[in-house]
Chains A and B, each alone.
Chain A
Amino acid sequence: MTITSPAPTPIPAIDTHGAADPRRARRRRGVSAVAWRLLGIVGALGLWQLGAVLVDSRGVLPGPAIVFSELGASLLDDPGLRYLGVQHPGYLYNIGWTVGFAVVAWLVGSALGAAVGLISARVQLVRNVSEPLLFVFGAVPALVLAPFFLVWFGQGWAGKAVLVAFYSFVTVGLVAQSAALSFPRASEEYAATLGLDTRSRFRHVVVPGTLPAILAGLRIALATAIAVQATVELLGSQTGVGRLIALRANQGDVAAVLGLSLALGLSAMALDLLLRVVIRRIIRWQ
């Protein structure tokens, strides 16, 4: 038998566009992503402006220029709202109030949710007790639960904080539980054969191993927390974006409602970006 090897085929040169330098390639990808995002924003603003021109009614759909000028004018103070009895009528103050409270409640609720979710995956009794709570109440919309919380805990900050913390608890709790339940058995067994006891395995293997999923859950919970906080403020509050939106909606001021909603959305987006940076740092091993 004779074995012959074919003549080597010349490999054509490939233009890698800087792929040889990973840092440069990464920067190029980053710039491209930002460019596409900007393009998306400009496109949305353009469509919005076009819609406003077609509708031609400030009371129905004000254009972006009107909304942003309204937002800018009331950022620090708003005499109209002051006249309506709002103690701190500046938009910035109220956005800070809503986002600040949401973040504190989110932190508390998420920490509890992560702990209960992880423990429930390992202790059947905790799972039996917590699962109905997570599923049943987690499926009830905030608008339905909010009146109960306002009645039980009052219209002050406590009722809202408990509600926001509760939704964060449910979101992160479910994610943590499912991450711990699906955690690879071999990883824990490997740690056991290295001599780690149950507690050490939980602390040094299960917790760090499920961290990426829990951190992803935190991002979802943060957006939910801000939305729920604004929703309960709509129903009853002295301060916050929700309260201002309720007042402006009563006046039929669509530009103000749109501006406040946009400002809240942008604040949530900024927080999410910050959170993503922190998460990327924590799970840089991924």
Chain B
Amino acid sequence: MTTTTDHPAFHIEGLRVTFEAQGRQITPLDGLDLDVPRGQFLCILGPSGQGKSTLLRTMAGLQEASAGTVLASGRPVTGPDANLGMVFQQDAIPMWLRVRDNIAFGPRMRKVPKAVYGPRVDHYLTEVGLGGRERAWPKELSGGMRKRVAIAAVFANDPDVLLMDEPFGSLDYFTRASLHASLLELWQETGKTIVFVTHDVDEAIKLADRVVVVTEGTVGLDVTVDFPRPRGDELRMNPEADSLRTTLLRVLESRAGGEQ
């Protein structure tokens, strides 16, 4: 008998996505194949407009595939699902819920018993460093803290996979570094699969087990990143990391040039 745990977190084959934008037909993804094993931290890199966010949205069930197969834990992705949690680039958390209610929002709405989600909410509240701010309104928090709320809320909802669309793109260096540490801690603790879209090569090298560069609608480069963890600033001095950075930047640069 096969169970969902026998399947990879994602199996994508021949994915094609076509939609209409500003009156013209565009095809950001065309013939993309990708397998994401369970528990992997995958970063998707790519120049703007080459399909990385479309890929993530399709994996989340927010964008319909025009052709091909997208399986999450062996099941076809037909729409958004509590097992496919997502953290967005912009603030998407309900601003009318206090921090704790925000983190409990998903399980409470899905009628998970309070005895089950309550301790989980408390745990993630502390894990992301929001202990003592349970009663705060999101407007009273900084952008980085609101991102912590979103991350805690998704973890508290206990999905199989976390999909993150440039979640730290608008934050300053130190806030990002702190959020990287929190995210990696939660990932290591839970063993969940994370698919993280970014345009920042250093962020990808710091976080990922594997980096995939999406260019011209398909996987342009697929590299394993096996530097020991934790990866601090010393990674900048590592010649192997430097070589990987150069390779990734070259691929991105050539595609970004082509885009123009």
Interface of A toward B, CB cutoff 8 Å: 184, 186-187, 189-196, 200, 204-205, 208-209, 211, 283-286
A192, B106: Cβ atoms under 8 Å? Answer: no
Spot the interface stretch: B20-28, B32-40, B84-92, B228-236. Answer: B84-92
Interface membership of chain B positions 79-98, coded 1 if the CB is closer than 8 angstroms to chain A and 0 otherwise: 11110111010111111111
B109 interface residue (CB < 8 Å to A) = yes
Q: A189-B86, A190-B86 are in contact. Are A208 and B96 (CB under 8 A)?
A: yes
Q: What is the size, in residues, of chain B's interface with A at 8 Å between Cβ atoms?
A: 33
A195, B94: Cβ atoms under 8 Å? Answer: no
A194, B95: Cβ atoms under 8 Å? Answer: no
CB closest chain-B residue, reference A188: B92
Contacts of B138 in A (CB 8 A): 285
A195, B157: Cβ atoms under 8 Å? Answer: yes
Which secondary structure dominates where chain A touches chain B?
helix
A190 contact from B61, B81, B88, B110, Cβ within 8 A? B88
CB closest chain-A residue, reference B86: A193
B105 interface residue (CB < 8 Å to A) = yes
Contacts of A200 in B (CB 8 A): 109
Contacts of A191 in B (CB 8 A): 94, 105, 109
Q: A184-B92, A187-B94, A285-B96 are in contact. Are A195 and B82 (CB under 8 A)?
A: yes
Contacts of A196 in B (CB 8 A): 106, 109-110
A193 contact from B80, B94, B98, Cβ within 8 A? B80
Closest 10 A-B residue pairs measured CB to CB?
A195-B82, A194-B106, A190-B92, A192-B80, A193-B86, A186-B92, A285-B96, A285-B137, A208-B96, A195-B110
A194, B85: Cβ atoms under 8 Å? Answer: yes
Max chain B C-beta neighbours (<10 A), residue from A190, A208, A286? A190
A286, B86: Cβ atoms under 8 Å? Answer: no
Contacts of B137 in A (CB 8 A): 284-285
Cα–Cα distance between A191 and B79 once the two chains are bound (Å):
13
B62, A208: Cβ atoms under 8 Å? Answer: no
A208 contact from B84, B92, B94, B157, Cβ within 8 A? B94
> Mind listing 23 A-B residue pairs with CB under 8 Å?
A184-B90, A186-B88, A186-B90, A186-B92, A187-B94, A192-B80, A193-B62, A193-B80, A194-B85, A194-B105, A194-B153, A194-B154, A195-B80, A195-B82, A195-B109, A196-B106, A204-B94, A205-B94, A209-B94, A209-B95, A285-B95, A285-B138, A286-B95
CB closest chain-A residue, reference B105: A194
Contacts of B105 in A (CB 8 A): 191, 194
CB closest chain-B residue, reference A192: B80
Q: A186-B88, A204-B109 are in contact. Are A193 and B60 (CB under 8 A)?
A: yes
Contacts of A193 in B (CB 8 A): 60-62, 80-82, 84-86, 154, 159, 163
Interface membership of chain B positions 99-119, coded 1 if the CB is closer than 8 angstroms to chain A and 0 otherwise: 000000110011000000000
CB closest chain-A residue, reference B83: A195
CB closest chain-B residue, reference A195: B82
Cα–Cα distance between A208 and B84 once the two chains are bound (Å):
24
Interface membership of chain B positions 34-50, coded 1 if the CB is closer than 8 angstroms to chain A and 0 otherwise: 00000000000000000
Excluding A186-B88, A190-B92, A193-B81, 19 further A-B contacts by CB distance (< 8 Å) are: A184-B90, A187-B93, A187-B94, A189-B86, A191-B94, A192-B80, A193-B86, A194-B85, A194-B154, A194-B157, A195-B82, A195-B109, A195-B157, A196-B109, A205-B94, A211-B96, A283-B96, A286-B95, A286-B139
A209, B96: Cβ atoms under 8 Å? Answer: yes
CB closest chain-A residue, reference B140: A285
Min CB–CB distance A207 → chain B (angstroms): 10
